[in-house]
Structure 1
Amino acid sequence: MQICETDRLIVRRLSLEDVPALTEILSDPEVMKHSVRGVCDEAATREFIEWSLSCYESHCAGPWALIDKKSSELIGFCSAGPEMVADVEEISLGYRLARRYWNKGLASEAARAVLSYVFTQKLCKSVVVIIEPGHPASLKVAEKAGFSGFDELEFYGRAVRLYRLTSEQWETLNDNDSN
């Protein structure tokens, strides 16, 4: 089921048919370098997709497949899914792309599309993004998506920055963009 699209991407629900293609991406140590899950084999990827399917049912959101419009290839995922942060369930933005798609602006494009979808559909009042300070590419994606200001905390034993974007901030950002 398609969620939304951008100029270059189709954003749709993951399915178990995506296990082989997503395993190829999530088994890359460079792609998963900053992931609390670590590198995923086929079984872990299947478990991740099954969890994603349950998120669609419980939250109407979760990790969504990113499909390149030109090639129809699955190139990664972008997520607005539940995450326990300091004993509070938050909706967290996350993204992973196959390495050959890095540095093309696709993560930023996907993040903005997913944020637009969750806020337009009123699926949540705020979204967080959790980033290690030593991950400049992810920090740049978050900034381009409209996140600013952060709290420092420990997440799965790692020092991270927690950024928050509210639906009101999103509306203001997009009102300013259209002027």
Structure 2
Amino acid sequence: MGQSDLAALCAILQDDETMYAYEGALSDDEAQAWLDRQMERYARDGFGLWAVVLKETGAMIGQCGLTYQDADGVRVVEVGYLFRRSFWHRGYATEAARVCRDYAFDQVGVDTVYSIIRDTNIPSQKVALRNGMKPEGSFVKRYRDVDMPHIVYAVSRAVRDGVY
């Protein structure tokens, strides 16, 4: 994603229903900061959340990628995803998350990939399960001055490869 994607990103980040797991839509400044963080991650880590675009039109419909996250005091590589509401329940999140999971194993070289998902976000939990992840624990994350219970999902390279 780059600055030219801000309007499409705002269509996602400024929709209250899409952002319910984050306690509501982001402001213009918060959306810009979100995009800035991704560009910083690309430069620092070599990855971040990437734009997901439709092959047919090139329109950005979501974002998915890898980020370093704190999972209750442990630094992990997380597969994260967030899509425009009009593209929910069509398999895009599952497909994109699977590609990012495999990229984490095959290109970044991690042995385990995580998704840290709010306990009320059942659709995202289902995406994690479809990508071979299993719940491994939970913790409370504070965001926007709200305590939010999260479930930690994980899958190892060996499980993905069918070794276990």
Query: RMSD of the TM alignment (CA)?
Result: 1.8
1:151 matched to 2:137: yes
Shift of 1:123: 4.1
Partner of 1:78: 64
SS of the aligned residue for 1:110 comes to helix
Partner of 1:126: 112
1:166 matched to 2:152: no
Which residue identity does 1:104 align to in structure 2? R
C-alpha contact 1:59 1:123 (8 A) present in aligned 2: no
1:22 matched to 2:9: yes
Shift of 1:93: 1.6
Aligned partner of 2:80 among 86, 90, 94: 94
C-alpha contact 1:61 1:123 (8 A) present in aligned 2: no
Tell me how far apart the structure 2 counterparts of residues 42 and 58 of structure 1 sit (CA, whole Å): 24
Tell me how far apart the structure 2 counterparts of residues 110 and 59 of structure 1 sit (CA, whole Å): 19
Task: After superposition, give the CA deviation of every residue in 1:25-78 in whole Å (9 maximum; x if it has no partner).
Answer: 110011110126x42233222211111111112221111100011121000101
C-alpha contact 1:61 1:118 (8 A) present in aligned 2: no
Which residue identity does 1:159 align to in structure 2? P
Which residue identity does 2:35 align to in structure 1? I
In structure 2, list runs of 5 or more residues that go unmatched.
none
SS of the aligned residue for 1:46 comes to helix
Return structure 1 stretches of 4+ with deviation > 3 angstroms: none
Task: After superposition, give the CA deviation of every residue in 1:113-141 in whole Å (9 maximum; x if it has no partner).
Answer: 11111211034222211122322211110
SS of the aligned residue for 1:34 comes to helix
Tell me how far apart the structure 1 counterparts of residues 61 and 9 of structure 2 sit (CA, whole Å): 8
C-alpha contact 1:153 1:160 (8 A) present in aligned 2: yes
Across the two proteins, how many residue pairs are aligned to each other?
A: 160
Partner of 1:42: 28
Tell me the TM-score normalized by structure 2: 0.89
Tell me how far apart the structure 1 counterparts of residues 161 and 2 of structure 2 sit (CA, whole Å): 31
Q: Percent identity?
A: 25
Tell me the TM-score normalized by structure 1: 0.82
Shift of 1:151: 0.6
